[in-house]
């Protein structure tokens, strides 16, 4: 206890000397101009007294961990300010963890075209199943579809003339159950063919078929041609694990193909789940990198993402098996939809394309041509009269998509033919689209690249110690070289759980380092973005969801505190403390409507609380205490997570900051991320 009081007195004396010297230096620098009036002197005295009381109180209540001392100096003068790139923070969307299929893409039917079982028939129709036993119904795939790019269809033969109550047929459970909600409309589209007049009953039911939420009867006329059938279904009840049933009581054969069920209330009618889009909008992403990641490459090239096969009418898209993450996607969320989602988010699209590599294969530079990527850019940016631009128009988007960034490959720098392939693509893109920024897979943070590039890609995963230590990664990067795109970062190992407080703190510290080095870091995004709770192939993720609920991990909420940084003004900061190895900080000035704020962020990743002095110089405006706030992200335990049952267990809490000022005292709890938003009012008048 004696040591505690000694430390308190020492800190009080130290701060008052610091304050006196600051006043003296200010007076000397201003010469005869008396800036420190009696009111200011009185305010500083009161501040010293309050500091003494606060430090004493915290010292008395700190029974286990020693309260540390720190001074955070912020230089807010315009001459030392630096503009942060408008694109600094965005999102990276990869088709992983069922992020798209069974995720943000609202299609409720899984394997809607029966293509997932492969081209050889008969094939598996999983997750479709039959209603009735094999003595009354027989189903098998064949190659009779009317769509040339996906020729598999389902042949269903009903053997009973007087079938069981409710009929026999097939059902689809969607992606771990369909979320059907009372009063909502659902649009069913399917293709059918029958050589005899028949009728089908389409129903939305509970997973066991006992609860009927909606049903309708559809007449199928006798014809040798395929017929497109459409039906609106209105739910009369709610069930979170529903299924779609297609049944009949009539004996005979009917073929079915391309069966789609979409909720009618998708975001802007574009096919995206509203609640998941809302979470993305709350991040204010300035760019969206897509569609991968390893999804772009595949274990084998035959399973790589191919943009041509993902555009045009959805019925004609063949889909493909994503062999890296182990599931089929119908590619309803295709190249066009990724561009549309970017536009809906107000984010610049960053198109990552395959340049001849899978995880197990390489295409020799002599055998590769850049026509595919040029066609993809024509689709996005081409005129209405161009070959691929006209397809974009036909899909409903006459105006070009503003694609200004492309990444040549994903994590391919060490591949034998990467440099040769890269240069081929780079030359072709630069000639056709000189304004497009081209991103290389090779790391340029330590030494210059040996090939032309506007930006280089940088990925970092590891434990919390790794991410925290990486906050200084770009401090020594050459300032006049190629800019960095930290397109994938996350704490991903050693007790990360399903996304913990500790992970978010280490990542926050890393991001303060990116802010401070934003003269050489152009962009950054967390990975992965989404995770269906039923598919945790890569853990953790920023947003976790199932068919009807979602929550943000601590890492998601951490990112919301950085959402105003893009395009803001960066200010130099210094930390003076014997505890500085556990602290990381940054400061920006940002604007909201007609208001401006000085945001000072500081991470305390250590186990000790900190008595913090924030001292700001160079402000040209007065601090408005009434509009100033403090936001804290913390929890009781480092391993605390969010979940469906406790979605707000670890979230930022904002409150008023009554002692806001150019010099203020604050208490940082252990394991915390604190953001001070000092509202800036009228300009100072200096005589």
The span from the CA of 167 to the CA of 496, in Å, is 50
Confidence check: pLDDT of 178 > 90? yes
Query: What is the pLDDT at residue 494?
Result: 86
Domain 129-263: CATH architecture, name and number where available: Sandwich (2.60)
| Nearest by Cα to 529 from 113, 104, 206 | 104
Q: Examine the pLDDT at 20 and tell me if it is beyond 60.
A: no
- Rounded-to-integer distance, Cα 81 and Cα 570, Å: 6
Do you know the residue count of the chain? 687
In which element (H, E) is residue 59 found?
helix 38-61
The answer to whether residue 528 scores a pLDDT higher than 80 is yes
Q: How confident is the model at residue 65 (pLDDT cuts 50, 70, 90)?
A: low
Confidence band (pLDDT; 50, 70, 90) for 683? Answer: confident
Top-confidence residue, 46 or 453? 453
Instruction: Specify the pLDDT at position 55.
Output: 45
Pure H helices in 438-545: 464-469, 501-516
The residue written with tokens 């040209």 in the block is 620
- Helix (H) or strand (E) holding 367, with range, is none
Helix (H) or strand (E) holding 389: helix 387-394
Inter-helix orientation angle 274-281/335-345, to 10°: 50
Q: What is the pLDDT of residues 240-284, one digit of tens each?
A: 999 999 999 999 999 999 999 999 999 999 999 999 999 999 999
Instruction: Give the pLDDT score at 657.
Output: 96
Considering only residues 495 and 155, tell me which one the structure prediction assigns the higher pLDDT. 155
Intra-chain end-to-end CA distance of the chain, in Å:
49
Q: What is the mean pLDDT of residues 597-617?
A: 97
For residues 153 and 583, give the distance between their C-alpha atoms in angstroms, rounded to a whole number: 60
Rg (CA), the chain: 30
Token pair belonging to 19: 């304050």
Whether residue 485 is predicted with pLDDT greater than 90 in this model: the reply is yes
What mean pLDDT is predicted for residues 52-62? 44
SS3 29: helix
Query: pLDDT per residue over 312-327, tens digit each?
Result: 999 999 999 999 999 9
Averaged pLDDT, 488-506: 94
- Three-state DSSP at 471 gives helix
Q: What is the pLDDT of residues 212-236, one digit of tens each?
A: 999 999 999 999 999 999 999 999 9
CB 495 within 8 A of CB 488: no
* Enclosing H/E stretch for 19: helix 2-30
DSSP conformational letter for 669: P
Q: For 291-401, where are the E strands, in sequence order?
A: 320-322, 327-329, 348-353
Distance CA 113, CA 407 (A): 31
Check whether 450 has a pLDDT greater than 50: yes
Q: Is the pLDDT of residue 23 over 90?
A: no
Does the pLDDT of residue 13 top 50, yes or no? no
The CATH number of domain 70-85+571-683, selected from 3.30.70.870, 2.60.40.1180, 3.20.20.100, 3.40.50.2000: 2.60.40.1180
Q: What is the pLDDT of residues 92-130, one digit of tens each?
A: 999 999 999 999 999 999 999 999 999 999 999 999 999
Question: pLDDT at position 593, please?
Answer: 84
User: What is the predicted pLDDT for the residue at 24?
Assistant: 33
Spatial distance between the Cα atoms of 662 and 481, rounded to a whole number of angstroms: 36
Query: Which CA distances in Å does 386 have to 167, 313, 378, 379, 389?
Result: 50, 18, 7, 8, 5
The helix (H) or strand (E) run that includes residue 52 is helix 38-61
Fill in the DSSP letter of residue 164: P
Strand partners, 272: 105
Number of neighbours of residue 1 by Cβ within 10 angstroms: 7
pLDDT of residue 685: 67
Q: What are phi and psi of 571, to 5 degrees?
A: -120, 140
Percent residues over pLDDT 90 in the chain: 87
H or E, element range at 422: helix 418-432
Tens of pLDDT, residue by residue over 628-641, are 999 999 999 999 99
Kindly tell me if the per-residue pLDDT of 3 is higher than 60: no
| 400 DSSP assignment | P
The structural domains of the chain, with segments of one domain joined by +, span: 70-85+571-683, 90-105+267-566, 129-263
Q: Give 254's strand partners.
A: 156, 194
pLDDT of residue 22: 43
Structure tokens at 395: 């899909």
> What pairs with residue 344 in β-bridges?
none
- pLDDT at residue 41, rounded to an integer: 47
pLDDT at 269: 97
- Nearest-angstrom CA–CA distance, 402 and 284: 18
Residues 6+ apart with CB under 8 A from 83: 567, 569, 570
At what angle are helices 371-381 and 418-432 packed, to 10 degrees? 40
Cis amide leading into 491 (omega within 30)? no
Instruction: Note the pLDDT tens digit of each residue in 557-587.
Output: 999 999 999 999 999 999 999 999 999 999 9
Residues 301/355, Cβ–Cβ less than 8 Å: no
Q: Are 170 and 158 in contact (CB under 8 A)?
A: no
- Please determine, for residue 47, whether its predicted confidence score (pLDDT) is greater than 80: no
Cα–Cα distance for residue pair 80/30, rounded to 1 Å: 19
* pLDDT at position 303: 96
**Where would I find the H helices in 257-386?**
274-281, 335-345, 371-381
C-alpha 146/C-alpha 316 separation (Å) is 9
DSSP secondary-structure letter at 423?
H
Strand order in the sheet with 252-263: 137-142, 153-158, 252-263, 185-194, 223-234
Pick from 69-78, 356-365, 678-687: least confident: 678-687
As its CATH architecture, domain 90-105+267-566 has: Alpha-Beta Barrel (3.20)
The verdict on whether omega for the bond into residue 646 sits within 30 degrees of 0, i.e. cis, is no
């Amino acid at each position: 206890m004696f040591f505690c009081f000694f430390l308190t007195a020492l800190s009080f004396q130290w701060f008052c000397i610091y304050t006196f010297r600051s006043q003296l230096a200010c007076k000397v620098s201003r010469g005869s101009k008396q800036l420190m009036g009696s009111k200011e002197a009185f305010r500083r005295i009161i501040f010293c007294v309050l500091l003494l009381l606060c430090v004493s109180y915290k010292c008395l209540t700190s029974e286990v961990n020693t309260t540390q001392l720190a001074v955070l100096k912020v230089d807010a003068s315009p001459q030392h300010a630096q503009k942060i790139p408008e694109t600094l923070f965005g999102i990276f969307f990869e088709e992983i963890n069922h992020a798209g299929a069974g995720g943000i893409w609202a299609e409720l039917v899984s394997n809607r075209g029966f293509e997932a079982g492969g081209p050889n028939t008969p094939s598996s129709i999983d997750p479709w199943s039959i209603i009735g036993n094999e003595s009354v119904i027989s189903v098998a795939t064949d190659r009779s579809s009317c769509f040339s790019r996906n020729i598999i269809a389902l042949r269903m033969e009903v053997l009973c003339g007087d079938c069981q109550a409710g009929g026999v047929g097939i059902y689809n459970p969607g992606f771990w159950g369909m979320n059907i909600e009372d009063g909502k409309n659902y649009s069913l589209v399917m293709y059918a063919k029958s050589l005899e007049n028949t009728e089908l009953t389409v129903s939305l039911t509970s997973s066991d078929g006992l609860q009927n939420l909606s049903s309708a009867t559809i007449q199928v006329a006798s014809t040798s041609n395929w017929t497109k059938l459409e039906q609106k279904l209105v739910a009369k009840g709610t069930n979170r694990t529903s299924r779609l049933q297609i049944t009949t009581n009539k004996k005979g054969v009917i073929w079915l193909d391309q069966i789609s069920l979409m909720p009618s209330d998708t975001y802007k009618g574009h096919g995206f789940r509203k609640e998941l889009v809302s979470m993305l909008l709350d991040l204010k992403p300035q760019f969206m990198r897509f569609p991968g990641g390893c999804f772009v490459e595949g274990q084998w090239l035959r399973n790589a993402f191919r943009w041509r096969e993902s555009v045009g009418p959805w019925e004609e898209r063949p889909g493909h098996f994503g062999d890296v993450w182990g599931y089929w996607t119908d590619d309803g969320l295709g190249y066009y939809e990724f561009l549309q989602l970017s536009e809906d988010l107000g984010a610049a699209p960053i198109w990552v394309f395959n340049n001849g590599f899978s995880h197990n294969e390489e295409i020799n530079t002599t055998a590769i041509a850049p026509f595919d990527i040029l066609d993809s850019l024509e689709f996005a940016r081409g005129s209405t009269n161009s070959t691929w631009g006209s397809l974009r128009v036909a899909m409903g988007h006459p105006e070009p998509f503003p694609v200004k960034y492309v990444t040549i490959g994903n994590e391919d720098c060490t591949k034998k033919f990467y440099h040769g392939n890269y240069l081929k693509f780079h030359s072709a893109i630069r000639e056709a689209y000189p304004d497009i920024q081209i991103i290389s897979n090779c790391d340029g943070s330590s030494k210059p690249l040996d090939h032309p590039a506007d930006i280089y890609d940088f990925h970092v995963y590891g434990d919390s110690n790794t991410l925290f230590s990486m906050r200084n990664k770009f401090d020594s990067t050459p300032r006049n070289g190629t800019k960095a795109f930290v397109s994938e970062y996350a704490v991903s190992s050693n007790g990360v759980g399903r996304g913990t407080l500790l992970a978010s703190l280490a990542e926050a510290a890393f991001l303060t380092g990116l802010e401070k080095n934003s003269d050489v870091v152009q962009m950054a995004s967390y990975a992965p973005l989404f995770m269906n709770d039923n598919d945790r192939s890569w853990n953790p993720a920023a947003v976790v969801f199932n068919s009807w609920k979602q929550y943000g991990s601590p890492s998601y909420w951490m990112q919301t505190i950085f959402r105003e940084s893009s395009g803001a003004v960066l200010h130099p900061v210094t930390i003076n403390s014997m505890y500085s190895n556990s602290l990381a900080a940054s400061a920006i000035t940002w604007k909201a409507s007609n208001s401006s704020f000085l945001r000072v962020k500081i991470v305390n990743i250590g186990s000790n609380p900190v008595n913090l002095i924030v001292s700001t110089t160079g402000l040209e405006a007065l601090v408005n205490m009434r509009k100033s706030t403090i936001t804290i992200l913390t929890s009781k335990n480092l391993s605390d997570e969010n979940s469906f049952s406790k979605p707000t267990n670890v979230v930022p809490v904002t409150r008023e900051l009554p002692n806001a000022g150019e010099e203020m005292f604050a208490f940082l709890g252990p394991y915390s991320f604190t953001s001070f938003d000092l509202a800036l009012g009228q300009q100072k008048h200096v005589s």
